[in-house]
Structure 1
Amino acid sequence: MGRKGQSITLSLLEREKAALEKLALEYGCVWGDRPNISKLIKQIAKRELKIAPNNDWQLERINVLERIRTFLIDQGQIDEAIAVAQILSERGELKDIALKREIEKFLQQPLPTWRQRIDSFIRRQKPFQLSYQDAQGRIWSFSIHHAQIVTHEKRQYLDCWATETEGNLDLPELQHNWSLRLDRIQDAAVSPLNEKWRSHLDSISVELHLYRGLAFAYQGKSADVHNDWHPELPKTRQVIRQVTSTFWFFREILPYGKDCKIIAPQSISDLFKQDLEALYQMYNPKH
């Protein structure tokens, strides 16, 4: 006579049953090719599978993972970003409702089709045509020969080299460079261009002198080609950097104030002085 097995009855919602079946598949608890919840429970009872708390992570860990997720998105590594988002979505510590909804929305549709196409062209180093309507209803079209997704001041931008220059107010040497804010693109048409990919954006070599505490505290940037103490001027740090956008360059050095001076080229120095003079006139309209 065969041994009579014992049975238990589980009261489960449909989504809970589906979750258990998913776990059973993940851990190989199957009958034929179908998930078997009973086998899953047996493995847990035998301590072959370990049950761990799902609410013991500190907030700092959640925040770090979220920063990693957004960084991966910026780098175009969507599969990796999805994997991190799935880890976050399964955690019981995720109490921030806004963040939870954002992650759920991302998992449902990680990126719009046009953004996925842009990432694909960048990875394959293939020029492309980008046409879109911005938040103000203006139509823009760019023939892009080099591009990269970057973060400026906590927002994502497409920094790119395009054939078009009309409307670009930068110096003539940099007018092929554009910095397009991605969250202002609601929808876009992206198509291939039969052109040659450029290895980099246009750039200008700029020399800076840093003084006082900044000279000691300055941390080099990836665009710096030289960063050392000046061979002739005491207590002066000489930095030479490749600049692709005067807009972002000026926004970076403005907080340095009197501890930073643009030495060369004169065109960059003059443009920065114009901005400073306009700022001075705004606060001193009678002068």
Structure 2
Amino acid sequence: MTSKSDVISSNPLSFALEILKLLAEKPHKKAELEIALGDRGFVAVDLDQKIERTIRKLRSCGFQIQGAPNCPYRLVESVFPVLLAEEQRESLVLAAHVLADMGFSTQASQLYRIGNIRSAVQSSTLKVDFHPPVDYSDEAIDQTVRLLQQRIQQKRRFVLWYCSSKGREAAWDLDKCELRLHNGVLYLFAVVPTMRSRRFDYLPNVDQNFMFRIDRILRIGAASQTPWTYSLFPTLTIRYRLFGDLSTYKPRRSQEKEQLRQDEAGFVEIITEEEYLFWFRQRILQYGASAKVIEPQWFADEIQDVLRRAFLNYENREG
């Protein structure tokens, strides 16, 4: 009597599908495929040769699988058909359109290929108001992002060489970091453990957090043997009020919570834990007369000084 495992192990289609599943998860060396396939009930005397024959057949069917002696097999692109309902296709088109407008054209084209969507139906009624400084699908940028993702996964300190907006090049020793997309621009957000602040006499503090625009990164050093010291980004507690039309605001950011609401007085008071003061300052300033920072006082003074200088720009009609 033939067992179920014998049927599975002798079924070429099941064998090929299992190889595709494994390669879709991550690259595998031939020896690793043999072990994984054996654990799944695929047993054969010539299992290594069977793997080679199957991968050749998969390549002939259009699956792009890289492989070389002493190197793992890597699935570069799958041609496996994906059947989508109309709403699913529309969602895929919308996601691809947003990615393309945000500067990720290669990733967008991959979504189009996954859904087998022709260019004639790639238009979207949604307009995305993003103006990225570069195409993040550029080969050099893509390589930078991949290296940064590796460093983030390794969770070890490393050195980054960076060119500022003023053209100054410098090396930065970085601790905890992550990639962030802010206002259509991709940054590496990181803690600089050696940074000293003029505003704080203690560590850690929010001034140790820095952002590095991805397209200005010159080089990324190897991961060191020193693990990250920081498990969280330092923050600063800020209390602010919103007035007028913004008095109906309800916190939607994870770091914010409502402290006080007085509908008769027409304001809401928010407490927030901010990781990067420049971004928060820009948000408060765009609210104009509808916002006021309550504390800390030194930060409220900074906002007041910026608004005063902005007023003087309009006071001087000649400039």
- TM-score normalised to the size of structure 2? 0.57
Alpha-carbon deviations, 1:213-247, whole Å to 9, x = none? 312134421221x2143479844312100122221
SS of structure 2 residue aligned to 1:123 = helix
The residue aligned with 2:291 is 260
* 55-64 vs 114-123, greater mean Cα deviation: 55-64
The residue aligned with 2:280 is 249
Could you say if the C-alpha distance between residues 175 and 272 of structure 1 is closer, same or farther in structure 2, counting changes exceeding 3 Å?
same
Q: What are the ranges of 5 or more consecutive residues in structure 2 without an aligned counterpart?
A: 1-15, 20-52, 62-79, 124-134
The residue aligned with 1:189 is 220
SS of structure 1 residue aligned to 2:176 = strand
The residue aligned with 2:180 is 150
Match of 1:161 among 175, 186, 191: 191
SS of structure 2 residue aligned to 1:214 = helix
Alpha-carbon deviations, 1:90-127, whole Å to 9, x = none? 53433579xxxxxx994978821x43232122123222
Could you say if the C-alpha distance between residues 233 and 171 of structure 1 is closer, same or farther in structure 2, counting changes exceeding 3 Å?
farther
Could you say if the C-alpha distance between residues 88 and 110 of structure 1 is closer, same or farther in structure 2, counting changes exceeding 3 Å?
farther
The residue aligned with 2:300 is 269
How far is the alpha carbon of 1:52 from its aligned partner? 7.9
The residue aligned with 1:206 is 238
Q: How many residues align structurally?
A: 228
How far is the alpha carbon of 1:137 from its aligned partner? 4.2
**Is the CA contact (8 Å cut-off) linking 2:161 and 2:170 kept in structure 1?**
yes
Indicate yes or no: 2:182 matched with 1:141. no
Give the Cα separation in 2 of the matches to 1:52 and 1:197. 47
Could you say if the C-alpha distance between residues 189 and 148 of structure 1 is closer, same or farther in structure 2, counting changes exceeding 3 Å?
closer
Give the Cα separation in 1 of the matches to 2:264 and 2:165. 49
Tell me which amino acid in the other structure corresponds to 1:202: P
Tell me which amino acid in the other structure corresponds to 2:215: D
Match of 1:93 among 118, 136, 145: 118
Give the Cα separation in 2 of the matches to 1:223 and 1:105. 28
**Is the CA contact (8 Å cut-off) linking 2:154 and 2:223 kept in structure 1?**
no
- C-alpha RMSD of matched pairs (Å): 4.4
**Is the CA contact (8 Å cut-off) linking 1:142 and 1:163 kept in structure 2?**
no
How far is the alpha carbon of 1:163 from its aligned partner? 2.9
SS of structure 2 residue aligned to 1:192 = coil
Alpha-carbon deviations, 1:239-284, whole Å to 9, x = none? 1001222211111122222221110010110000111011011111
Alpha-carbon deviations, 1:73-101, whole Å to 9, x = none? 8xxxxxxx96x75332353433579xxxx
Tell me which amino acid in the other structure corresponds to 2:184: K
SS of structure 1 residue aligned to 2:162 = strand
Give the Cα separation in 1 of the matches to 2:271 and 2:149. 31
Give the Cα separation in 1 of the matches to 2:82 and 2:222. 49
Percentage of pairs with the same residue:
15
Give the Cα separation in 1 of the matches to 2:209 and 2:139. 34
